Structure 1
Amino acid sequence: AWYGHLKYKESPLWIAILASWGIAFVEYCFQVPANRIGHYEFTAAQLKTIQEVITLIVFCVFSVVYLKEELKWNYLVGFSMMIGAVFVVFKEW
């Protein structure tokens, strides 16, 4: 769900929940058809892997630009290890 509410901690929790669900709904309106189309070419595990990689990239940009958090070296090392996981998932063995 949406992490933008972390910047507005003074807002009521119910507003954060509604905003998060609203954004998630719009995301799913794109994700569900994309997964149906993508499943003709990719397995479910591969589709989930693609989704997670995209999510991590967007989240890194979001946390640095919007939340003003630093991208620490250990995050980058961990994400690099995930690249190895992507290779394993997509490799034809």
Structure 2
Amino acid sequence: MPTLLNPAAIWPIVLLSLSNVFMTFAWYGHLKFRHSAIFAAILVSWGIAFFEYCLAVPANRIGAQVYSAAQLKTMQEVITLLVFSGFSVFWLKESLTWGHAAGFALIALGASLIFRA
């Protein structure tokens, strides 16, 4: 297991977190503006996704020095759940239920198995 004191172990987490903020806005941000044209939503989403890729690709390149591909993907999925939870509450003004929390917790528990070995 990589030590988090190693910068090569931390930077992928930081970059994946930032990339997920962009990704979440690209995929779901337009839901707050459902009255806008779908074509405009697609173009804006693509523009936002460009910045997501500019963070995700280096995150995975740096992370591959320390983590396996499966570990990187697992981190990305858990980070996505955390970012989406905050986004859903603060941007979309949707509330999370105990069912959401339990489901996310089970996914996180399953993800933790990837890091055991």
If the TM-score is normalised by the length of the shorter chain, which range does it land in?
Answer: over 0.9
The residue number in structure 2 matching 1:42 is: 67
Report how many aligned residue pairs link the two structures.
92
Distance 2:97 2:86 in 1: 13
Q: TM-score, normalised by structure 2?
A: 0.75
Identity of aligned residues (%): 57
Any unmatched runs of 5+ in structure 1?
none
Q: Which runs of 4+ in 1 moved over 6 A?
A: none
Number of the residue aligned with 1:30 = 55
Where in structure 2 are there 5+ consecutive unaligned residues?
A: 1-25
Q: Which residue of 2 aligns with 1:91?
A: 116
Once residues 96 and 71 of structure 2 are traced to their aligned partners in structure 1, the CA distance between those partners, rounded to angstroms, is: 26
Q: Which of structures 1 and 2 has the larger relative contact order (alpha carbons within 8 angstroms, sep 6+)? A: 2
What TM-score comes out, normalization by structure 1 length? 0.94
Q: Over aligned residue pairs, what C-alpha RMSD do you find? A: 0.9
Answer 1 or 2: which has greater helix percent: 2
